[in-house]
A and B are shown apart, each in its own frame.
Chain A
Amino acid sequence: MVFRKKAWLLVITALSSVTMLIMACGGEAETITVVETVVVEKEVEKEVEVVKEVEAPQSDGRYGGELTIALGAAISTLDVHRTTGTTAYEVSFAVQERMMSYNSDLQATPLLVDTWEVSADGMQWNFTLRDGIKFHNGVPFNAEHAVKSWERWAERDNYGSLIFGFVDDISVTGDLTFSIDMVEPTALVLEALARIGGYAPVMMPPEMYDVAAAEGADVLIGTGPYELDEWATGDHLRVKRYEDYSPADSAASFMAGRKDAFFDTVDYVVIPDSNARVAALEVGQVDLLGRDVPADMVDTLTANPDVRVAVATTSPAREGAWIDNIEGPFTDARVRRAFAMAFPVEDALIAGHGDSRFYTLCPSMMACAGKWGGWADGSEGVYNYHDKGGLEAAKQTIKDLGLVGTDITVLQAGDRARFSGPAEISRQTLEKMGFNVIFKQTDWATQTNWREKPELWDVFHTAGGGAWAANPLLNSSLAKNKYWNKYQDESGAMTAGMEELARASSADEQLAIVKEMQNVFWQDVPYISFGDSFGVGAVRADVQGAQSLYSMSWNPYNAWRSK
Chain B
Amino acid sequence: MTAYIFKRVLAVIPILIFVGIATFSLVHIAPGDAANIMAGDYAGPDDVKLIRAELGLDKPVTTQFVEWASRTLRGDFGKSIYSGRTVAELVSQRLEPTISLTIVGGTLAVLLGIPLGVFAAWRAGSRWDRGIQIFAALGISVPGFWLGFIFILAFAVYLRWFPVIGYVSVTEDFTGWIRSITLPVSLLAISGSSVIIRMTRGSILEVLREDFIRTARAKGLANRPVLFRHALRAGAIPIITVIGTLAGALITGVVVTETVFTIPGLGRLIAETVQNRDFPVVQSMLMLLASFYVFINLMVDLAYVFFDPRVRL
Contact = CB atoms under 8 A, between A and B. Distances in A.
A464 to B, nearest CB: 6
Contacts of A450: 31
Interface in A67-87: 74, 76-77, 82-86
B32 A446 contact: yes
Contacts of B261: 276
Interface in B9-37: 30-33, 36-37
A218 interface: yes
Q: Which of A275, A286, A448, A462 has the most CB of B within 10 A?
A: A448
A447 B208 CA distance: 55
Interface residues of A, number: 54
Interface in A444-494: 444-450, 452, 462-465, 468, 476, 482-484
A233 B82 contact: yes
Contacts, number: 142
A269 B167 CA distance: 12
Contacts of A77: 38, 82-83
Interface in B155-177: 156-157, 160, 163-166
Given A215-B54, A234-B268, A445 B45 contact: no
A271 interface: yes
Contacts of A273: 145, 259-260, 262
A271 B37 CA distance: 18
Contact of A476 (B44, B93, B275): B44
B80 A233 contact: yes
Most central of A156, A283, A468 by chain B CB within 10 Å: A283
Contacts of B30: 446
Contacts of B42: 84, 198, 464-465, 468
A76 B44 contact: no
Contacts of A476: 44
* Chain B interface residue bracket vs A: 35 or more
A285 B36 contact: no
Contacts of B264: 232, 234-236
A85 B47 CA distance: 12
Contact of B45 (A280, A452, A465): A452
A280 B259 CA distance: 14
Contacts of A235: 93, 264
A445 B277 contact: yes
A276 B45 contact: no
Interface in A505-542: none
| Most A-side CB within 10 Å, residue of B33, B47, B90, B145 | B47
Given A76-B38, A285-B164, A214 B50 contact: yes
A271 B268 CA distance: 11
Nearest 6 CB-CB pairs, A to B? Answer: A84-B40, A445-B32, A235-B264, A448-B36, A85-B40, A214-B54
Given A85-B40, A443-B275, A448-B32, 14 more contacts: A76-B37, A83-B40, A85-B41, A232-B93, A236-B264, A271-B165, A273-B262, A279-B157, A283-B157, A285-B165, A443-B32, A444-B275, A476-B44, A483-B44
